[in-house]
Amino acid sequence: MNRVCELFGTRYPVVQGGMVWCSGWRLASAVSNAGGLGLLGAGSMTAEVLREHVRRCRQATDRPFGVNLPLANRETGELARVIVEEGVRIVFTSAGSPRTWTAFFREKGVIVAHVASSSRFVAKCEEAGVDAVVVEGFEAGGHNGREETTTMCLVPAARRVTTLPLLAAGGIGTGRGMLAAMALGAEGVQVGTRFALTRESSAHENFKRLCLSLEEGDTRLLLKKLAPTRLVKGDFMTAVEEAEARGASADELRELLGRGRSRKGIFEGDLSAGELEIGQVASLFRREQDAAGVMEEIINEYERARTEISR
Amino acid sequence: MNRVCELFGTRYPVVQGGMVWCSGWRLASAVSNAGGLGLLGAGSMTAEVLREHVRRCRQATDRPFGVNLPLANRETGELARVIVEEGVRIVFTSAGSPRTWTAFFREKGVIVAHVASSSRFVAKCEEAGVDAVVVEGFEAGGHNGREETTTMCLVPAARRVTTLPLLAAGGIGTGRGMLAAMALGAEGVQVGTRFALTRESSAHENFKRLCLSLEEGDTRLLLKKLAPTRLVKGDFMTAVEEAEARGASADELRELLGRGRSRKGIFEGDLSAGELEIGQVASLFRREQDAAGVMEEIINEYERARTEISR
């Protein structure tokens, strides 16, 4: 049996990315009901909002689901408390050190996967005692590693340093992408972008429509003097690009970024003033689908491609 | 039969990258003798040097080999003449429009493959009448596309727009990488970095040793205001990074770059003043091997992984 399925109790080794502003109970429960692992994106939630989403998600599915918890969040402590209080069984931690929270969760019987962007970090995850590791390549949307290692290079590097169940993320939104990740040594995949653009995603329709019309090259990794972030072309991205081209400092970029921009862009659909984040793989998709349809397509294409390649 | 093998007359659908300063007759003939397609890298040669390499390569192998011809070169016309005069049967063109030279070569019975970094360009290649297309992702060494699309995202995008034989490049140096590329829809692979670091490569030993010690994140795509180039960490890369961070103009970067730097770095082994170019995948390799050993490892790992994944 596939170790990712075994660990999480899912039918397929496909985990939905816990993207901010996209991943509420509707999306997470739909993915879990479709045989994957749905994740609630706590990064855009207060503790009480997360509690509400956990409860609704549990009403909407009897399959396993989890919470994505960015550790850089100021409210991490409160969110972690809610996770434990509400009996969530699976946590994906990211954007911070795996040392900080892994023991806390594991003592409470919560399964912990940590998201890393380098094999050095994968080794740290293993030391910290996590149950599984996700490695996320340069092509992924939103916050991204400083080393810019792509999924093609990162997965085999990670595979060399860990015996833990390994998931690949970044650039994977199809069955063929999933097969490629497995060929590189992953045992499962985390799919963000494609699920962010489904009907059940809480992202704004404006945002989804824009992302479903992107061409290659329409996202760019910027803000490297702050935290590298993959942005979608548009007014805000142009402003950042121009500022960076003339050598803007971290402080200037911080001021330009301001606060609440990703909410404005992704959740409220302000494509001009908002910050828009999506992965490179978006350019492969043109239709808004439901999460179950996406899962079915991924799994069918994966099985077809597997049969084809083994001939 | 695999279409790439059929087109080029090789045993394996593995083409060696025609990297500047690495790809002389020793490397090209060794790769061809090992069952792949060796390429002479004309980008670092004068017309008469290329003629010499073609003749020596022909003495060293009776298998097919080709020439990599960067079209931005000032000497392209002369190099093209030598290719035809010497009866070279296969040309890989890159860094320029596929329209300019494809008809010329095809009229002379030369098979043309063109290297592209976006699916828009792949469509142009097909219009121009090339025989095959290589798509090269962001993780590749040296000159690189402006759109920064990674191999994981680029190969499926290219596969959608062309029915031509499709090769993947960028981040591929192992059998598992090759299997991943095939899963994504490629029919062959072009391997640059790993062959650049073999015994037969004409790169300087200092350069090879450095590249065989790199960690993840030790290369960076820079010089984006000129032509985006993946550089290896070191004094020159630091100078470029610092200049770019303070907003250096294209002219300032051009002056910093100067002339002949890649020769100095890669061929003469000056790791301080030279420009060093290698792909991200270098960090997976630690030993200098011969080209035949590399080919054997790639093919064996590919077959093993294929069997494994089809179980």
What percent of chain B clears pLDDT 70, i.e. is strictly above it? 100
Chain centroid to CA B82: 21
With contact defined as beta carbons under 8 Å apart, do A162 and A154 qualify? Answer: no
- Per DSSP, chain B holds a count of helices (H) and strands (E) of 14, 11
Least Cα separation, residue B142 to chain A (angstroms): 15
Contact between chains at B152 and A281 (C-beta distance less than 8 A): yes
To the nearest 5 percent, what fractions of chain B are helix, strand and coil? 45, 15, 40
Judged against a pLDDT cut of 90, whether residue B73 lies above it is answered with no
Average pLDDT (A106-111) is 98
Least Cα separation, residue B109 to chain A (angstroms): 32
Contact between chains at B150 and A157 (C-beta distance less than 8 A): no
Superfamily of domain B3-202+289-309: Aldolase class I (3.20.20.70)
Contact between chains at A309 and B179 (C-beta distance less than 8 A): yes
Nearest Cβ partner for B151 among A152, A215, A221 = A152
User: Residue A125 and residue A20: Cα distance in Å, rounded?
Assistant: 23
To the nearest 5 percent, what fractions of chain A are helix, strand and coil? 45, 15, 40
**Domain ranges in chain B?**
3-202+289-309, 205-281
CA distances to A47, A190, B42 from B24, in Å? 63, 42, 9
With contact defined as beta carbons under 8 Å apart, do A39 and A53 qualify? Answer: no
Q: Does domain A3-202+286-309 have CATH number 3.20.20.70?
A: yes
Which residues of chain A make contact with B154, given a CB cutoff of 8 A?
A: 216
pLDDT tens-digit profile of A15-52? 999 999 999 999 999 999 999 999 999 999 999 999 99
Which residues of chain A make contact with B150, given a CB cutoff of 8 A?
A: 137-139, 150-152, 170-171, 280
Nearest Cβ partner for B150 among A138, A185, A305 = A138
Nearest Cβ partner for A138 among B138, B245, B309 = B138
pLDDT tens-digit profile of B97-153? 999 999 999 999 999 999 999 999 999 999 999 999 999 999 999 999 999 999 999
Average pLDDT (B37-51) is 97
Least Cα separation, residue B151 to chain A (angstroms): 7
User: Residue A184 and residue A196: Cα distance in Å, rounded?
Assistant: 25
Residue B214 carries which DSSP code? P
The SS3 assignment for A110 reads coil
Average pLDDT (A208-215) is 98
Please, which contacts does A83-86 make with residues 24 or more away whose CB atoms are closer than 8 Å? A83/A42, A83/A50, A83/A54, A83/A110, A84/A108, A84/A110, A85/A51, A86/A51, A86/A54, A86/A55
Bridge partners (DSSP) of residue B16 are B191
User: Residue A230 and residue A222: Cα distance in Å, rounded?
Assistant: 6
Least Cα separation, residue A139 to chain B (angstroms): 6
Task: Report the pLDDT value the prediction gives residue A73, as an integer from 0 to 100.
Answer: 80
Judged against a pLDDT cut of 90, whether residue B72 lies above it is answered with no
Judged against a pLDDT cut of 90, whether residue A88 lies above it is answered with yes
User: How many residues does this entry show for chain B?
Assistant: 311
Task: Report the pLDDT value the prediction gives residue A49, as an integer from 0 to 100.
Answer: 98
Which residues of chain B make contact with A171, given a CB cutoff of 8 A?
A: 150, 152-153
Task: Report the pLDDT value the prediction gives residue A74, as an integer from 0 to 100.
Answer: 83
Q: What is the DSSP string of B191-210?
A: E-HHHHTSTT--S-HHHHHH
pLDDT tens-digit profile of B157-170? 999 999 999 999 99
Confidence of residue A311 (pLDDT cuts 50, 70, 90): confident
Nearest Cβ partner for A153 among B154, B171, B221 = B171
When computed from its CA atoms, the radius of gyration of chain B, rounded to whole angstroms, is: 18
